[in-house]
Amino acid sequence: MEGRDLAGEKFRKFPHTNAANPCLLRCFYQCVCGKVKAHPLQLCRRYSTAGDSGSTAGKIVAASLLTVGGGLGGTILYAKWDPKFRANVEKSVPYSDQLFEMALGPPPPPLVTLQKKPGKIEPLQISSLSEASKESKQPKAKAKKSDPAPVEAPAAVEEAPAPTPQTLKDEECKDHHEPVLKERPAEEVTARLAQQDKAEQDALAALTAGLEESLGSTAKTTLQAIGAQEAALTAIAAHTNKLKEAMDSQTPPDEKSSQWKALNEALSERTRAMEEAEEALLKAKGELENLSGVINSSKQSKINTARPQILAAEENLHSMIVDLDKVVTKVQTAQTEAKIVSQYSELVNEAKAQFQQELANITPEIQANWKRLSGKLSADDLNSLIAHAHRRIDQLNRELAEQRVREQIHIEVALEQQKLEDQKALERAVVSALEHSREDMRLEQEKKAQEVREVMEAEMRTQLRRQAAAHTDHLRDVLKVQEQELREEAQEILNSKMMEQETHYRRLTQEQLDTFTLDMNAAYARLKGIEEAIDSHVIAEEEARKAHQLWLSVEALNYTLKSAGADFPTEPLEGAVGVIKENCAGNEFAQALATAIPEESLSRGIYSEASLRARFFDIRRLARRVALIDETRNSLYQYFLSYLQSVLLFEREQVAPPAKLAPEDLDTFKLLAYANYSIERGDLELAAKFVNQLRGESQRVAQDWLKEARLTLETKQVISLLSAYANAVGLGTTQAP
């Protein structure tokens, strides 16, 4: 039963040894299950310990190596995965950081939040600052470069209100050479401004001249074109009228030819007029293109003051275009009308020719001049003619009937065609009207923009004027303040100089007075000194007497100390101390010292050093015996141990104490050895110090001795002080012969 319990306890305490002893392990499990009795366990143990001692050691070594290696490998792998763990391990285990560096490489750098760089803000700030000093900088920079053409200067100045940051930065880089912005003299600025204005004016004049020129020419050509178109129009109308008249066959034949001639003339006239109109139109269109080109270029030159002129020119252009278009449409409508009429006339002519042909076919003999038909024609001819005429009439009636039938269809078709044409015309008209209206809107917009711009410019001018006024006011104020300050400064300087002179004069007078007073005082002091010397002599003698008495009483006290015996204390020191007190009633130091003597010594007396020495041996022995005892260790067994220690510990009885006390010197035995040494050499004070360092029971045992030693030391100290004092006083008061 015991064997089983022991085995169980063993395995509970040392689980790692199971690998080393498989037989035992098996036995353990079997024991836990409670199947096997104790004896086979003992046998097993004996067999196993006899046989496999060699291989079990090897197995132990192998198992331990495996665990250590596994632990290291696992740590390294985890450190690779988790940098925080790595840092922790590096901190806690001394050389792990080197191992990690070897295995994994340097640790990953810690993440630092990137701070947003406010660098970009600076150039913008600089640009905004330099905006304020734009006017002075721009001309200056321009002065550095060669003077550009006057046209470009105003253009550049015009562009100044809207510079790109890029050009500004370039200028900044250039201006680094002169970081200080000198203020240009006013004349130069005004000259430059005047120059710029003049240049602007010139450009403007040139521009307006150009514009007007082109406008004039365009207007002329347009008017010409319009006139030509209108002429063409009238020609067309005349021609059409003439044609209509010619068609109308109610005129007598004589006038027909003249009519036809006139018609031809009118036709030629019309064609000529049309050609002229075309030419003029082309020219006008060309001129209009020119004008628009000029307007565009002048727009691009961006001179603000020219804007109204540009706008007016544009308006004119637009109106001219509109007029031209109107006239052209009129001409076109007239043309279509004329076409209709000409078509009609053609048709009529055709019909007539056909009829004549038919007639000629029927009555070949009859000549074309069928107006003289009635005289020459016979009855047959007339009949045939009439028959033909009737036939013709029938035919025509039939045709008419057919025509009437087809009329509807034709009319519909014609209507459709007309609709299509109308639509096309409408679209064209709508498009052109739209374009015109768009153009109108654009012009209006530009006019409005122009007006707004003017208003803004006027406002800006007033603000600038105000700013200039404020600036002059400010300057005035600053100047006033400066004047005040300077005046005050001057006044102060004057005052200080005056004061200096006065003090100097006063000092001189004072010095004179002082020297006189000094001489007087010196003489008086000497007189006083002599008197005092005489007095002090008297006092000194008195003091000498007192000192003598004090010394005598201190000697008496010293003598009483010698009355100590081996084991009993001295006489009480009361008497001697009382005498001292009487003798040095006026002396505070001696009084203080006399009262400093402890009560115990006065009433009971003190032990001599020799008795204390003798007592110390007993104390030492006892302290050694109870060295081990303190608050925690104070059973009887500890007492026995302490005694045993004191008996068995061999050491030197006296050991010289070191200059400095180290903590290991605070051992009871050492302390007692030091104290022994000191007391043998007569140094009670040092011995008492060492004994004071005892702790525990040793301290309690030595308590009384320590108290006595303290008392003795105190009293002796006071007495030695008193005697030293008495000696000193005596020495001080004795006069050398």
Partner 1 sequence: MSEKEFGQKWDRCLADCAVKFGTGLGLGIVFSVVFFKRRTWPIVFGTGLGLGMAYSNCQNDLRSRYVLHSKVAKEQ
Residues that bind partner 1 in the complex, under the rule CB under 8 A? 618-619, 622, 626, 630-631, 634-636, 639, 700-705
In order, the DSSP letters of 60-101 are: HHHHHHHHHHHHHHHHHHHHHH-HHHHHHHHHHSTTHHHHHH
Looking at beta carbons only, is 619 or 726 nearer to partner 1?
Answer: 619
445 SS3 class: helix
Looking at beta carbons only, is 263 or 711 nearer to partner 1?
Answer: 711
Looking at beta carbons only, is 577 or 702 nearer to partner 1?
Answer: 702
Looking at beta carbons only, is 280 or 672 nearer to partner 1?
Answer: 672
Residue whose token pair is 């006092």: 539
What are 177-186's contacts with CB under 8 Å, separation 24+? 181/133, 181/136, 181/137, 181/140, 183/136, 184/136, 184/139, 184/140
Q: Give least dist CB 696 to partner 1, A.
A: 9
Looking at beta carbons only, is 362 or 706 nearer to partner 1?
Answer: 706
Whole-angstrom distance, CA of residue 242 vs CA of residue 271: 14
Half-sphere exposure of residue 519: CA atoms within 13 angstroms, side-chain side: 5
Looking at beta carbons only, is 187 or 631 nearer to partner 1?
Answer: 631
Q: Give least dist CB 631 to partner 1, A.
A: 5
Looking at beta carbons only, is 269 or 708 nearer to partner 1?
Answer: 708
What are 691-696's contacts with CB under 8 Å, separation 24+? 691/619, 693/661, 693/666, 694/623, 694/668, 695/630, 695/666, 695/668, 696/626, 696/627, 696/628, 696/629, 696/630, 696/631, 696/668
* Contacts of residue 181, Cβ cutoff 8 Å, sequence gap at least 6: 133, 136, 137, 140
Looking at beta carbons only, is 558 or 634 nearer to partner 1?
Answer: 634
Q: Give least dist CB 694 to partner 1, A.
A: 12
Half-sphere exposure of residue 603: CA atoms within 13 angstroms, side-chain side: 3
Q: Give least dist CB 705 to partner 1, A.
A: 7
Q: Answer whether 302's CB lies under 8 Å from 158's CB.
A: yes
Q: Give least dist CB 637 to partner 1, A.
A: 9
Q: Give least dist CB 632 to partner 1, A.
A: 9
In order, the DSSP letters of 250-269 are: TS-HHHHHHHHHHHHHHHHH
Q: Give least dist CB 639 to partner 1, A.
A: 7
For 4, the enclosing helix (H) or strand (E) is: helix 2-13
Looking at beta carbons only, is 320 or 691 nearer to partner 1?
Answer: 691
Q: Give least dist CB 634 to partner 1, A.
A: 5
Q: Give least dist CB 621 to partner 1, A.
A: 9
